[in-house]
Amino acid sequence: MKKIVIAILIILAAVILYFYFGLSGNPISKELGKYSVEQYIEENYPGEDYNLTDISYNFKTSKYEFTYKKPNSLDEYFHIYTDSLGRIKYDDYEEVVSNKWNTYNRLYGEIKNQTDFIFNDIIDVDDNNYGYIGFKYKEGFEKKLILNQELDIRNPPLELELVLVKYDSVVNYEALAKLLIQIEDSLIEYGIKADYYDVVLREYRFLDKEDGLQVYAYGLKYEDWIIYKEDIEELAGFLKEYRENWDSENLN
């Protein structure tokens, strides 16, 4: 009986270890990978002062991720990936450091943090009504960014895009025009300019449906609509025509 209990405990322990290592990796593979990446850093990034700051395991890809970062740098960090035998698979230095994705994502997050409060003046923010400001993505953005640069929200390094979705009881182009003007007035108050607008106005009674009444302006350039700001009816007419043109180009 005692032998049976011991055997069951051994099997149970083996099963637990199997699942544990399957989810978190095993220490031998981790050490093999650590040795490999140390050699890799010396050979490929000599004198760059990168320090190992984190090791993690992705059970979905069965790869170990080693994070290297420069001290006192906001953007100079990247990852090296190894397999279970400690072999280097690839690193993402070129993508996240050379091509400035770390810088882009950090500044994007700072923009949101510095501007999210603006939308509290425009909409009752919840899961359905929301807004944010971020960079308008365009190829070649890395040429305009500098590693570790500080954000000046009033003079951003890239064009800004404003996204807003609002549910209301009145949904028409005049209401959309008024919403745009309200947004613009709020931005002016805080010295911020959005270069592009994605604004959607939807009817409350279609909150949980996809086919409800809605008016919108996607990819709307600031200079295209601002000239109509002083005339609601003219702006509403422009937005209606803009939406029709956008639909014909993108939905057909």
Specify whether 126 is located in the same domain as 74: no
Give yes or no: residues 178 and 60 share one domain.
no
What's the rounded Cα separation, in Å, for the pair 74 and 91? Answer: 19
Has residue 219 been placed in a domain?
A: yes
pLDDT at residue number 24: 43
> Domain range spanning residue 59?
26-98
Q: Which residues pair with 90 in a beta bridge?
A: 81
Per-residue pLDDT tens digits for 191-231: 999 999 999 999 876 555 555 689 999 999 999 999 999 99
What percent of the chain shows pLDDT beyond 70? 87
11 domain-assigned: no
User: Can you tell me the distance from the alpha carbon of 201 to that of 214, in angstroms, rounded to the nearest whole number?
Assistant: 6
Task: Judge whether 36 and 88 are in contact, CB under 8 Å.
Answer: yes
Does 6 score more than 60 pLDDT?
A: no
Q: Are residues 73 and 149 in the same domain?
A: no
Do residues 165 and 127 lie in contact, with contact meaning Cβ atoms separated by under 8 Å? no
Among 63, 98, 133, identify where a domain stops: 98
Would you say residue 175 has pLDDT above 90? Answer: yes
| CA 135 to mean position of chain CA atoms | 10
> Is 4 within a domain?
no
The residues with which 64 forms a beta bridge, in sequence order, are: 57, 82
Pairing type for strands 88-91 and 51-58 reads unpaired
Same-domain check for residues 58 and 183 = no
Task: Taking residues 154-183, report their average pLDDT.
Answer: 96
* H or E element in which residue 247 lies: helix 232-250
Instruction: Count CA atoms closer than 13 A to 231's CA, side-chain side.
Output: 8
Segments of 14-95 assigned E as strands: 51-58, 63-69, 77-82, 88-91
In terms of domains, do 125 and 240 share one? yes
Q: 66 with 117, same domain?
A: no
Overall number of domains in the chain: 2
Measured between alpha carbons, how far is residue 199 from residues 26, 154, 205 in Å?
A: 49, 21, 19
pTM: 0.85
Q: Are 74 and 142 in a shared domain?
A: no
Domain final position from 98, 119, 137: 98
